[in-house]
Amino acid sequence: MVNFRTFDLITFSDYNNQDYSFYLQYLVVLKLQYTTFSGRSFTMNFLSNKLHGLALCFAIAVPAAYLGKLFPIIGAPVFAIILGLLMAGIPRSDIFQGGITFTSKKILQYAIILLGFGMNLFEIFRVGSQSLLIIISTIGTALVVSYAVSRIMKIDHDIATLVGVGSSICGGSAIAAAAPVIKASDEDIAQSISVIFLFNVIAAFLFPTLGAILGFNDMGFGMWAGTAINDTSSVVAAGQTWASASGSDTALNYATIVKLTRTLAIIPICLGLAYLTSKRKATTSEVKISSIFPMFIIYFLGASIINTFAGSHFDFFQFLPAIGKFMIAMAMAAIGLNTNLVKLIKTGGKPILLGLICWFCIAVVSLAMQHLLNIW
């Protein structure tokens, strides 16, 4: 047996008369030593570069999640961004930056995947199919309006895209999914989230009153809230307010399922954005699908399929979306830490106006489609 501790002092010539198995043994040991060293090196590099930033984002996400439970209309992601923005002004060591960047990019994608375990496709298709035309109309309206208004008002392309996607699909979650696809900056993400949050809060309070004035029944209001309010938390809040007044959960159930149906649009929208972004930023006219394909969206769909067929057999699946939501709070904290608050305030006027126009157009188109379909 070869003494590997002193092997580097031994030459092959010393073993000319030995079996060739020695040489194979030598190569295997070198490979094992290299693999072990590389694995340890990767782990140590990851911990040294990412751990501090990850811990900081986790520490911010914990109180944000608590505040999000106390004030569900606002939600943990918004609190996380706010806390991150406040802490961004505090000088910090460069040792945190690697983990902060990793959290704002990769952890965000992993969070979106985990959210898929909270979706039952059969239930969504059963109820959501009734609202499919309305959903397609409102999503199309928001995307066209955001593009047109951004060109007229000369709003940054990425901000306009994120506001349009957030307004039309599912608020912060849609922005979180689309941001890495279009390679948006942290400041653009923070600004878009802030715009969506503003109109989420307004909608949660305003829609039940407007619904009563417009004479909606339970189904009609649920359909309107589910298609015209951006974020799930605000949809649930508005639906619950209506349900408390009407004495029936019909509006709440319809609003929630219609909202989840809208969420499925993340997949085709992100695939389309990936292709358009690659065309816009590519140096040549040829674009390879393999290089632009956002695989985390496919994993999100896979998680939804797994939950649909196997979710009832595994109790732990119900905890995965909650973990995903906490990871989104971590990612939003990282985005806040990477954002210049002063610049955000100075440049926020136009995106807010864009969000208002998108929101108004979505609400009106939803009403018009319901009237055409004899729902309202």
SS3 letters for 202-249?
A: HHHHHHHHHHHHHCCCHHHHHHHHHHHCCCHHHHHHHHHHHHHHHCCC
Record the tokens describing residue 246, joined without a space: 């009407």
Asked if pLDDT for residue 352 goes beyond 60, the answer is: yes
Give the model's pLDDT for residue 175. Answer: 87
**Average predicted confidence (pLDDT) for the chain:** 77
- Among 51-60, 268-277, 350-359, which stretch is predicted with the lowest mean pLDDT? 268-277
Q: Reply yes or no on whether the pLDDT at 19 is more than 60.
A: no
Distance (Å, rounded) from C-alpha 370 to C-alpha 375? 5
- Dig out the tokens for 321 from the structure: 């979306």
* 337 vs 90: CA distance, rounded Å: 9
Cα gap 313→180, rounded to integer Å: 33
pLDDT-derived band of residue 23, with 50, 70 and 90 as boundaries? very low
pLDDT of residue 250 exceeding 80: no
Distance CA(323)–CA(331), nearest Å, equals: 12
How far apart, in whole angstroms, are the C-alpha atoms of residue 64 and residue 266? 25
Q: How far apart are CA 265 and CA 139, in angstroms?
A: 9
Q: Rounded to whole angstroms, what are the CA distances from 77 to 64, 263, 265, 280, 295?
A: 7, 17, 21, 30, 23
In this predicted structure, what is the pLDDT of residue 71?
Answer: 82
* pLDDT of 202 strictly over 60: yes
Task: Report the predicted TM-score, pTM, of the whole model to 2 decimal places.
Answer: 0.64
Q: Give CA–CA dist 161/169, Å, rounded.
A: 12
Note whether 354 and 166 are within 8 A (CB): no
* H-assigned helices in 19-171: 21-70, 76-88, 97-102, 108-115, 121-128, 132-153, 157-168
Query: How does residue 58 score in pLDDT terms, banded at 50, 70 and 90?
Result: very high
Name the helix (H) or strand (E) containing 332. helix 320-337
Q: What angle do CA 19, 25, 29 make, to 5 degrees?
A: 160
User: With bands split at pLDDT 50, 70 and 90, how would you rate the model's confidence at 283?
Assistant: very low
For the CA atoms of the chain, what is the radius of gyration? 25
What DSSP state is assigned to residue 282?
Answer: -
CA–CA gap between residue 80 and residue 326 (Å, rounded): 10
